[in-house]
Structure 1
Amino acid sequence: MRKKQTIPLSLLPYFRKWLVKNGWNGRKHGNDYLIVWKAKHKQIEIVNLKMNKPCLPVFKIFLNEYLDCGKRFLEELA
């Protein structure tokens, strides 16, 4: 069984804001629990900082944008 990937707690608020900015709807339950959905996409869940399988490619897109733009990317989401 493959171990679930975890998201750093420091990036979770930025990732959540990025998801909302990109049309995802969701609910935040505490600091480390997030559920978001979007039409024609599978539901994304982050529970105890562990991402479900549909979350991984979306998080990868987020990280690529962060790597391309650097600190400015996170500042724009703050």
Structure 2
Amino acid sequence: MIKIFAFFGGVPILVTIDNFKAAVAVPRRGSEDATIPAEFTAFADHYGFSFVAARVRKPRDKGIVENAVGIVQDDVLPPQAL
């Protein structure tokens, strides 16, 4: 994430995180909050952003990213790359 912040020249106010292990110990399910490791919370505090964990199997939580992945898979990558 540090390299992404540097690439874009700043840190967003709010980040929707996918359920990767460094950021989410126990994924968010329904109305239950995700369990976030203290290290990731400290990282977010240090860089000054808030975050919300995406729900499992709810692509609308991160629709812009999911759409971009679909475009790359359909229009950019050759069929054998998948």
TM-score band w.r.t. shorter chain: 0.3 to 0.5
- How does the TM-score come out when normalised to structure 2? 0.32
TM-score (norm. length: structure 1): 0.34
Instruction: Answer 1 or 2: which has greater strand percent.
Output: 1
Between structure 1 and structure 2, the one with the greater Rg is: 2
